[in-house]
Structure 1
């Protein structure tokens, strides 16, 4: 029977609930995830090393007997063991942490196999916390013919647990070798590739391991491209409302604006209206640099469907941004009978009930919110357009899943916005099922932001500069560093910095905003900043996207070396939105690592988001550029778009052939790599 890659581990293996929970914690819930949990490195335990031949900082396997053991209580409690091999050469084992029962294992005369990295100590070579296989007497067991895989793990799961379960899983997939069409093209079979990567022969060289990895990379990229091709085919079969564009109403709205649309904005909006007038659902990506005016284009798209009698929804990454978008859009829509509602998770229950009812009845035409806008209890009256801020990192399958929010058996039109310009090769691979529009022009009057990089040792001079800036009637941001993956600590740090700045600048009104503030309090602080009642706003990265205050002309980013290029560019984009010259100061803590130095240099030299995105791709690779490593949703398990770009023409050829001639293999690949995600690609 063909194994089901999306089946939970419990389908094939007898594991306790505790073990299943630990594997899930490690990111492995299914058979497919287990097989593709590839080793971090390998250990060679195929031969013994005499103690006399041990080399510093080298892993080795030693066959020795215990001579003695003792616990010392000098500076800290430590377990010391002396072992010797058959030549009489001695090795010292050290345990800095150990259980009370552990010393009892080390009985004089007991033989074992000891594996660890050798360290040169005061009295000779040492092993710290070695792995031990105890033996019956001095008889040496048969050594492994394989290199031993070492896996990323969680507390409670040993390497032995991983090796045992993966060995069982490999037995299940061994029969797949006979059904493998990639073998005829010169690749290893799927089973051979997994076998070599999980249990390589000790004689295997890097070239053979690379061949095994290439098989999986090609297969994963093929599955991804097939997924995109099927998504496009699925979309072509759907019916969406054909929107009758009210050109006159849109022109009246445009004339009410206090600014002129750029040529790029007009071009992109024309592409959107062309999509909306068709019966196929629009699925379009708007790429545009920070401050290029994507939001006003999205609003024009929303008005196009609202004037035609439908609803539109805009999903953004933070509650703060939802509130600000709603406020700005309501200001732009003054005098029009269009109702705008905010829908976020942290709303008072009564207000949320009233908002949900207004959405269901159709009383509200434009809904702005976080992921809450797609929760099960939200029922739309006649939704025709979904707009998604790309910060949500929705993938192809999630974007298609949003069709569930359509009404009357019709699909909805979708617009994805990204302020992170992505190199074309990467964009086509990630957003392949979307049509792409680019706003490649900034509004008139915008001046490039001057960026400088300074050491934290110059903090006092910088605070003085911020004070001068604010006393001249301009405003500034001071963004706090990322301490660690803890919102609580970030907020505590922001509070400390706000207090310090207020003490240093007693004549300047300092405000504080972060993600843990109550919604009303956060709104009040932002309103005060927008009205220039607060001159200096201390903030965590909640202000990364969307916050638009034209009078803010100075951005300080503390510990800038902790941020990625995309995030630095987003934060810098909060200034430079008015006619005055704006500045960004990247403050770093010495010493700087090489990658951090490269990032800050790129920021100092360029304001162009596309240039920055390409440099980010060069420095960090595709997955991290898209934010997927930070969010834990890695785009690919084995492949890397930057590293493997040369394979893409071959991938395109394979997938085209298989779609026409080998539907059975297409289904096999999708079952392996897109298991559980293909519901919207069937029929």
Structure 2
């Protein structure tokens, strides 16, 4: 079979050319575009799409305008101009009339150019956004042109609006200038742009050809063609992400042998029969069964374990560790912080009790003598389970026979950091990544599309749902009264602040001020309050933690350092100050610090009285549900995937140019199905009609490698 990829490799693409060679750009503008928007090549520019569109076929009367309107279009004449103010505060005003009414047009910059350009009594088309100032409507810095039909590619009623910055505007790169540059580029290159999908896919799915899609995404002839262009480009973006992930999975399954862990031996059985802290839920049994099948199959396990806060992931991880140990293999468990690593160590050694399983802890704080003993214990095989932080990936840490790697809160690690652990054995160990941050299905398919996914969707028996309430600052007396009631019942309270010190720019409660007000309301000796934040020394953190964990302290005032790894079952109240500042996932993580005992627990969201629409929706969502997956879906819709914590580190080292994971879930699943069908028929994409797919995946991998270097 002839490998047609050579023709793709050998043909240099015009789209790789630098934008400085486009007429109207030049070196200075090219430098500005690269710095501000990351646009360096012809392709970068063509794939910088409008973020919205306006219909330039409609004209408004000035009398119809109001300040809540988006961009509008007027036709009329200037009746007079004047300069108001002096020096830097000077502004140039033009009075624009449509023959019935007039509106003020204002310029703060570029006045000399405006004075020379626009004349009284000449008909113009004016395009801009009406705003209210001092009780009157005006339009600042509108686009203005004479009413004529432009020739060529830009002649369209629907105009795209592109993202810009102040520096781009200062460099005269407005939306209009941007459109003209893209129009020039399309006229130069459109006939040279190669199709990026196989012909049979384009025909079978009735997609617009790439050239038509690019033309109509920038200069749509009508709204129907715009919709088809958007659909084509979204499909292609999602399709190649899925094809790339699924092909990696196919290659791994075909070429990577796994360590065989078929034995369910004494350690697992003894623990299950005599040491299990509580009966397994149905969900825990299901995921253990899935992992046992993976580890005994002879293929390398690559599995994501998702579970809400407190769902029992650590117990499942321990039981899989015991299976690995029963089969003669060592286990490594890596956590992102020392607090969480210590928590895992205490939790796991506590559950194992006197079982003959050697567990060690390795963090940045581990003393040299203990570190040396750990290194020796790993090489001799004496240590069965090693728990730690980034210290585990150091070259000096070598295992005798590493069989299972567990990575907790894995979104906090870089891709390269995680991969270092996988190379610490002659055969790749089984991989289990865990996340207590529920991930929406569409995002999971994009980040973890090459992994099998297990979900623990039940809480252990006896856990009561946390009651969540939203209080404003005016209800602080009520809050303090409630805290005292809970402390009198023998419970403990967390109070979490977003900042350590007051910020002049941010009107949010800070920890130092909050600590003072709480110690006034809860004075010694009756009440004991401790502080915990990321800037404290390690020994001071330990003192605070120990006082709170032992019950000596009633209240812990903290920053989000307690988001993971703090487990005090007696703490039943979580107060989150300035809760409007936090994202939904973070609020849910903080809430998960309580509700770990049998008593009823509470989460109180404190906020100012005035809230934005989005903030109110977030807090309402928290009050309405305890379901982490429901919250994650809501967070994705509110903020989008790029803003969700951890997505960049989790394995999306590229930006989606046009698809939206919050809105395009169905299209994503469809694109994944198409990719699966292709790989079922041609797993290595060796067939001639798939040469274009091989080439595009190589391009994607090259881009990904560049971005991985930047984030790792």
Same fold (TM over 0.5): yes
The CA deviation at 1:282 is: 0.3
The equivalent of 1:588 in structure 2 is 607
The equivalent of 1:405 in structure 2 is 422
Whether the 8 Å CA contact 2:74–2:127 is kept in 1: the answer is yes
The equivalent of 1:221 in structure 2 is 238
The Cα offsets for residues 375-424 of structure 1, whole Å up to 9 and x where unpaired, read as 778766654322233550789xx499727732455222111212244566
1:547/1:41 CA distance change after superposition, 3 Å: same
The equivalent of 2:697 in structure 1 is 670
The Cα offsets for residues 445-470 of structure 1, whole Å up to 9 and x where unpaired, read as 32222233333311122012213322
Whether the 8 Å CA contact 1:3–1:173 is kept in 2: the answer is no
Q: Within 5 Å, which residues of 2 pair with 1:389-404?
A: 389-390=408-409, 392=411, 398=415, 402=419
Whole-Å separation in 2 of the counterparts to 1:66 and 1:554: 67
Q: 1:79 aligns with which of 79, 91, 94?
A: 91
Whether the 8 Å CA contact 2:60–2:72 is kept in 1: the answer is no
Whether the 8 Å CA contact 1:250–1:304 is kept in 2: the answer is yes
1:54/1:582 CA distance change after superposition, 3 Å: closer
Indicate the larger mover: 541-550 or 322-331. Answer: 322-331
Whole-Å separation in 1 of the counterparts to 2:391 and 2:185: 39
Q: 2:463 aligns with which of 428, 446, 449?
A: 446
Q: 2:267 aligns with which of 243, 249, 255?
A: 249
SS of match in other structure, 1:157:
helix
Indicate the larger mover: 600-609 or 368-377. Answer: 368-377
The equivalent of 1:280 in structure 2 is 299
Whole-Å separation in 1 of the counterparts to 2:209 and 2:529: 63
| 1:145 equivalent in alignment to 2:155 | yes
Q: Within 5 Å, which residues of 2 pair with 1:493-504?
A: 493-504=510-521
SS of match in other structure, 1:436:
strand
The equivalent of 1:116 in structure 2 is 128
Whether the 8 Å CA contact 2:81–2:93 is kept in 1: the answer is yes
Indicate the larger mover: 112-121 or 207-216. Answer: 112-121
Whole-Å separation in 2 of the counterparts to 1:199 and 1:245: 64
Whole-Å separation in 2 of the counterparts to 1:677 and 1:329: 37
Whole-Å separation in 2 of the counterparts to 1:362 and 1:10: 59
The Cα offsets for residues 428-447 of structure 1, whole Å up to 9 and x where unpaired, read as 56533222323233223322
Whether the 8 Å CA contact 2:94–2:106 is kept in 1: the answer is no
Q: Within 5 Å, which residues of 2 pair with 1:138-537?
A: 145-146=155-156, 148-158=159-169, 159-160=173-174, 163=179, 166=182, 170=186, 171-172=188-189, 174-177=191-194, 180=197, 181=199, 182-185=201-204, 186-201=206-221, 204-205=222-223, 207-236=224-253, 237-243=255-261, 245=263, 247-254=265-272, 257=275, 259-264=277-282, 265-306=284-325, 308-332=327-351, 336=356, 338-343=358-363, 366-370=385-389, 373-374=392-393, 382-390=401-409, 392=411, 398=415, 402=419, 405-407=422-424, 409-422=426-439, 427-428=444-445, 430-481=447-498, 493-507=510-524, 508-537=527-556
Q: TM-score, normalised to structure 1's length?
A: 0.79
SS of match in other structure, 1:384:
strand
SS of match in other structure, 1:500:
helix
Whole-Å separation in 1 of the counterparts to 2:517 and 2:421: 50
Whether the 8 Å CA contact 1:120–1:126 is kept in 2: the answer is yes
The Cα offsets for residues 247-302 of structure 1, whole Å up to 9 and x where unpaired, read as 21233445674713414334433432332233311011222222111012112323
Whole-Å separation in 2 of the counterparts to 1:443 and 1:27: 48
The CA deviation at 1:575 is: 0.9
Whole-Å separation in 2 of the counterparts to 1:5 and 1:351: 61
SS of match in other structure, 2:258:
coil
Whether the 8 Å CA contact 1:149–1:199 is kept in 2: the answer is yes
Whole-Å separation in 1 of the counterparts to 2:696 and 2:503: 38
1:139/1:665 CA distance change after superposition, 3 Å: closer
The CA deviation at 1:184 is: 1.9
1:604/1:338 CA distance change after superposition, 3 Å: same
Q: 1:39 aligns with which of 18, 33, 50?
A: 50
Indicate the larger mover: 304-313 or 220-229. Answer: 304-313
Whole-Å separation in 2 of the counterparts to 1:624 and 1:601: 20
The CA deviation at 1:243 is: 3.5
The Cα offsets for residues 547-595 of structure 1, whole Å up to 9 and x where unpaired, read as 2111111111233344444333322221111122222222333345555
Q: Within 5 Å, which residues of 2 pair with 1:49-68?
A: 57=69, 58-60=71-73, 68=81
1:482/1:9 CA distance change after superposition, 3 Å: farther
SS of match in other structure, 1:643:
coil
Whether the 8 Å CA contact 1:45–1:61 is kept in 2: the answer is no
Whether the 8 Å CA contact 2:46–2:182 is kept in 1: the answer is yes
Whole-Å separation in 1 of the counterparts to 2:543 and 2:552: 11
Whole-Å separation in 1 of the counterparts to 2:334 and 2:209: 43
Whether the 8 Å CA contact 1:232–1:433 is kept in 2: the answer is yes
Indicate the larger mover: 180-189 or 290-299. Answer: 180-189
Q: 2:660 aligns with which of 640, 643, 666?
A: 640
1:169/1:338 CA distance change after superposition, 3 Å: farther
Whole-Å separation in 2 of the counterparts to 1:348 and 1:383: 21
Q: 1:128 aligns with which of 129, 140, 146?
A: 140
SS of match in other structure, 1:219:
helix
1:462/1:179 CA distance change after superposition, 3 Å: closer
User: Aligned residues, how many?
Assistant: 663
SS of match in other structure, 2:227:
helix
1:2/1:191 CA distance change after superposition, 3 Å: farther
Indicate the larger mover: 256-265 or 434-443. Answer: 256-265
Whole-Å separation in 1 of the counterparts to 2:242 and 2:437: 22
The Cα offsets for residues 599-635 of structure 1, whole Å up to 9 and x where unpaired, read as 4444334434445455656766777778649999687
SS of match in other structure, 1:37:
coil
| 1:569 equivalent in alignment to 2:588 | yes
Whole-Å separation in 2 of the counterparts to 1:426 and 1:343: 31
Q: 1:23 aligns with which of 18, 34, 46?
A: 34
1:644/1:48 CA distance change after superposition, 3 Å: closer
Whether the 8 Å CA contact 1:384–1:406 is kept in 2: the answer is no
